Amino acid sequence: MLLFRSLTIPLIALSLSSAVLADASHRADSHGPIGVMGEHMHKEGEVMFSYRYMLMEMDGNLDGTSSVSTDEILEDYRVAPENMTMEMHMLGAMYAPSDDLTLMLMVPLINNEMDHTMQMMGGMGGMGMMMPMRSEFTTETDGVGDIKVGGLYRLNQTDDSTLILNMTLSLPTGSIDEKDVTGMSMGNKVQLPYSMQLGSGTYDLKPGLTYTNSQPTYSWGAQTIATIRLDENDNDYSLGDRIMATAWYARPFADTFSWSLRGAYEYWGDVDGEDKKLNPMMKNMVPTADPDLRGGQRVDLAAGVNWIIPGSATNRLALELIKPVYQDLNGPQMETDYSLVLGWQLSL
Ligand SMILES: [Cu+2]
């Protein structure tokens, strides 16, 4: 009897804990919020394909933390950027040659659109006075962005936590020579300012650390990733370095779902150097062409949902809405209104 009890209790405990462990990887929150990348690893031999639709809307301008109106910008410049839509289709693949290493590939397809208001002295007012005349124009660019290759290396693993070293290299595959017709270019296509270009033009190293912790009724994680430009691009500049830190809390519900709340902080520097293909007069006409008005910092709050499509533990859908709560920009610079990430993941 005593022997029976001394055997069964550890056996029950063992089978319970292995059930929990086996279950943990099939929980919707075993992947982080979809706006976080490189936050989970795979088991040896596993392959995952993913598609993300990412949308960022920018509306209006900030100088520091205060908003600057179009009228105020047009006192100093001839063109004011009004709003910008950045759409990205991100194709991803992950493959784990071992339990300690997961390889990643990400291919972005980008579409940028920016609306501007332009002011010229032109129309005749009363008594023959020259009156300011306003018009609007839109510029657009699209194509492949900077392809990212890298690996996630498992530094430490316990029953409920994982510590990952993120090491990604961003390749200069996105164009930095995008042109379009502007309000001032007399119908000619001219080099567009920094934020309308599709790539950095430089090899960028993206080192980082990710920690995730899974408990029976919730999970949480934290990640920090830097972006370090390794050289200067062919147009004589490099985009500012970046540092991002984020932390999230997630809870599973209704078997196949989880919700998440996340905070994120990002800091990015001004452009180093100056685009040699941009007309040097441009930075006096539109703030987006000034390499010293590109840096800033931002705090975001995000709410997300992960869903494992029933019938298979390998198909996932996820959505995250991201809203800035604090922005401090070297401005006038366009202000982020919101972004969203919609993703589909298929593990084999
Ligand atoms: Cu994956």
Kindly give the distance from the C-alpha atom of residue 92 to the centroid of ligand 1, in angstroms, as a whole number. 9
- Whether 241 contacts 226, CB under 8 Å: yes
Q: Residue 202: pLDDT above 80?
A: yes
Look at the chain and count its residues.
348
pLDDT of res. 197: 98
As a whole number, mean pLDDT of residues 320-347 equals 97
Structure tokens at 189: 């296509």
Q: Which amino acid is at 14?
A: L
Structure-token match 């972006």, residue found: 227
Kindly give the distance from the C-alpha atom of residue 4 to the centroid of ligand 1, in angstroms, as a whole number. 43
Kindly give the distance from the C-alpha atom of residue 252 to the centroid of ligand 1, in angstroms, as a whole number. 19
Q: Where are the alpha helices (DSSP H) in 202-346?
A: 282-285
Kindly give the distance from the C-alpha atom of residue 29 to the centroid of ligand 1, in angstroms, as a whole number. 13
Kindly give the distance from the C-alpha atom of residue 48 to the centroid of ligand 1, in angstroms, as a whole number. 5
- For the chain, what is the largest distance between any 2 Cα atoms, rounded to a whole number of angstroms? 111
The fraction of the chain above a pLDDT of 90, given in percent, is: 84
pLDDT of res. 97: 98
Output the CA–CA distances (angstroms, integers) from residue 289 to 60, 177, 237, 278, in the order listed: 16, 14, 13, 8
More confident call, 88 vs 313: 88
pLDDT of res. 313: 60
pLDDT of res. 310: 87
β strands within 175-295, DSSP E:
179-181, 189-191, 204-214, 219-229, 237-238, 242-253, 257-268, 272-273
Q: What is the pLDDT of residues 110-123, one digit of tens each?
A: 999 999 999 987 65
pLDDT of res. 109: 98
Kindly give the distance from the C-alpha atom of residue 230 to the centroid of ligand 1, in angstroms, as a whole number. 27
Q: Residue 88: pLDDT above 90?
A: yes
Kindly give the distance from the C-alpha atom of residue 165 to the centroid of ligand 1, in angstroms, as a whole number. 15
CA torsion through residues 267, 203, 47, 54, sign: positive
d(CA 174, CA 58): 21
My answer on whether omega of the bond before 324 falls inside 30° of 0, hence cis, is no
pLDDT of res. 18: 37
Kindly give the distance from the C-alpha atom of residue 46 to the centroid of ligand 1, in angstroms, as a whole number. 9
pLDDT of res. 170: 98
pLDDT confidence bin for 249, thresholds 50/70/90: very high
Kindly give the distance from the C-alpha atom of residue 247 to the centroid of ligand 1, in angstroms, as a whole number. 19
Kindly give the distance from the C-alpha atom of residue 160 to the centroid of ligand 1, in angstroms, as a whole number. 18
21, β-bridge pairs: none
pLDDT of res. 2: 44
Q: Which domains does the chain have, with CATH numbers?
A: 2-347 (2.40.128.130)
For the chain, give the mean pLDDT: 91
Kindly give the distance from the C-alpha atom of residue 163 to the centroid of ligand 1, in angstroms, as a whole number. 16
As a whole number, mean pLDDT of residues 321-331 equals 97
The fraction of the chain above a pLDDT of 70, given in percent, is: 90
pLDDT of res. 120: 85
Taking the C-alpha atoms of 191, 194, 197 and 203 in order, what is their torsion angle to the nearest 10 degrees? 120
Q: What is the pLDDT of residues 253-290, one digit of tens each?
A: 998 999 999 999 999 999 999 999 999 999 999 999 99
Measure the N-to-C terminal CA separation of the chain; round to a whole number of Å: 47
Kindly give the distance from the C-alpha atom of residue 66 to the centroid of ligand 1, in angstroms, as a whole number. 40
pLDDT of res. 4: 43
pLDDT confidence bin for 25, thresholds 50/70/90: low
Taking alpha carbons only, the member of 99, 244, 233, 228 closest to residue 168 is 228
As a whole number, mean pLDDT of residues 154-161 equals 97
d(CA 223, CA 162): 12
Q: Residue 298: pLDDT above 50?
A: yes
